[in-house]
Amino acid sequence: MPRPTKIEIDAEIIDRAAGLFSKHGFENTSLQQIANAVNYSKAGLLHHYPSKKAIYEKVLSTSIEQLKSLLASVEDIPVGIERDRAVVEATIQHTLDWPGMAAFGNRLAENEQNVEPILTEMGLIMYAALGIDLATVDLERIIRVTSAFSGLGVTAALSARLDLKREWRSYIAQIAMEALGHR
């Protein structure tokens, strides 16, 4: 088997760290936990990133980059069913490819008093991808989006864990589209 590239190693570190940060928070995630998750020594991990904070900042910047890429990929599609379908499909693929990053993004739904501003920015980019204008917010649409994408995230992650990605994918997309109000 060929050795993983630096880009592949960094992606694995970031994704695994994101999953740990989503589960335990920044303060309660240790460098040793991250190192263990990627089968590195703590020193080996520090060879890639100088600190836990540097890893966290990379998780945040990667999340924003991924969401901006999603937004760019759908900007030319008129708001409606086709754009929703494109966002649903891209989100399913993202969850399967980046389970830790997807779990980290789902922290937006937590009921915290002091949500980090960058997490709010992530939510706003996702709303923009779905064509949601917060100045003319439609409560039903917000609830549908929250329900659809929360369910999609949990179910897609479960399908990956159970090694049922292929079998579940079309159902996940169909149910998410129905939750968004599309039959």
* Digit-coded pLDDT (tens) for 9-43: 999 999 999 999 999 989 999 999 999 999 999 99
First to last CA, the chain: 45
Supply the CATH classification number for the domain 6-179: 1.10.357.10
Structure tokens at 79: 């708001």
The C-alpha atoms of residue 42 and residue 33 are separated, in whole angstroms, by: 9
Calculate what percentage of the chain has a pLDDT beyond 90.
Answer: 75
Structure tokens at 178: 């129905």
Instruction: Supply φ then ψ for residue 131, to 5 degrees.
Output: 75, 25
* Digit-coded pLDDT (tens) for 108-135: 666 455 667 888 888 899 999 999 988 8
What's the pLDDT score for residue 107? 73
Q: CA nearest 63: which of 30, 9, 108?
A: 108
Q: What's the mean per-residue pLDDT of the chain?
A: 92
The C-alpha atoms of residue 107 and residue 96 are separated, in whole angstroms, by: 17
